[in-house]
Amino acid sequence: MHLDFEEITKKYGNRLYAAAFNVCRQNQDAEDAVQDALIALYRSDAEYMSEEHMKAWLLRVTINNAKSIRRSFWNRNKTSYEEYMDSLTFEDESDKSLMDEVLRLPEKMRIVVHLHYYEGYRIEEIAQMLELSGNTVKTRLFNARKILKSRLEGWEDE
């Protein structure tokens, strides 16, 4: 099946990138993870039941790619996290603090937090996507919220 990759990139590219960056915290690695996911989609020739199905597939593959990149020992001249964060434009200083604190969380917690708050997935959906039990996802989310509440002034109790 042939997909319009320009359209897909326009529609989902930044969201996939945000998920990848959440995992690997490095802009070039995150872009590689997204690119690899889109190439995997091209190769897959899969038929998708719905747009939601394809989006979920892309997110899952992107996250897995980002995890693999983090585990590799490939060294290259990359932009540092601090340099990259300084280059971003935030609406408010508190937005930068929030991102910093989320990205300080352990990787296992940050992915769950991102899928929940940014992508709007429910616990069961996150569990399915990450192949975890619902209880594991619930626990990670609960612990992440506790940490964010303790570190971020604006983070509210839920």
Partner 1 sequence: MSKKNNEEKYIRSFNALHLSGDFQANLDKRLEEEREGRKMNLGTIGNIRRIAAGIAVFAVTMGSFGVCYASDFGGLRTNLKLWLGGEEKEVTVVQSGDYSYDVIDEDGNVSGFGGLTADGNGGQTAMSAEQLAALQNNACMLKPENGRYILYYKNISADVTDQIKNGKLNIHITDPNNEYTYFRISEINGESFVCEAGRKADWGVDYIEIDSSSLTDDGASFETDCSDDVSFTTSVISD
Distance in Å, CB of 59 to partner 1, minimum: 14
User: Which region among 43-51, 61-69, 122-130, 136-144 touches partner 1 (by CB under 8 A)?
Assistant: 43-51
Using DSSP's 3-state secondary structure scheme, residue 7 falls into helix
Q: Per 3-state DSSP, what percentage of the chain is helix, strand, and coil (rounded to 5)?
A: 75, 0, 25
Q: Does 57 engage in binding with partner 1 (CB under 8 A)?
A: no
Q: Give whichever of 98 and 127 is closer to partner 1, judged by the CB atom.
A: 98
Q: Does 35 engage in binding with partner 1 (CB under 8 A)?
A: yes
Q: Give whichever of 101 and 134 is closer to partner 1, judged by the CB atom.
A: 101
- Please report, to the nearest 10 degrees, the dihedral formed by the alpha carbons of residues 104, 100, 57, 79 taken in order: -100
Say how far apart CA 85 and CA 103 lie, in whole Å: 11
Q: Does 14 engage in binding with partner 1 (CB under 8 A)?
A: yes
User: Which region among 31-39, 61-69, 124-132, 134-142 touches partner 1 (by CB under 8 A)?
Assistant: 31-39
The residue written with tokens 């604190």 in the block is: 101
b/e burial code for range 118-157 (CB count within 10 A of at least 16 → b): ebebebebbbebbebeeeebbebbebbbebbeeeeeebee
Tell which positions 62-101 bind partner 1, by CB under 8 A: 88-92, 94-96, 98-99
Which residues have C-beta within 8 Å of that of residue 78, sequence separation ≥ 6?
A: 26, 28, 29
Q: Does 142 engage in binding with partner 1 (CB under 8 A)?
A: no
Which parts of this chain interact with partner 1 (CB under 8 A)?
1-9, 11, 13-14, 17-18, 21-22, 27, 31, 34-35, 38-39, 42-43, 45, 48, 51, 54, 88-92, 94-96, 98-99, 102, 113-114, 117-118, 120, 154-158
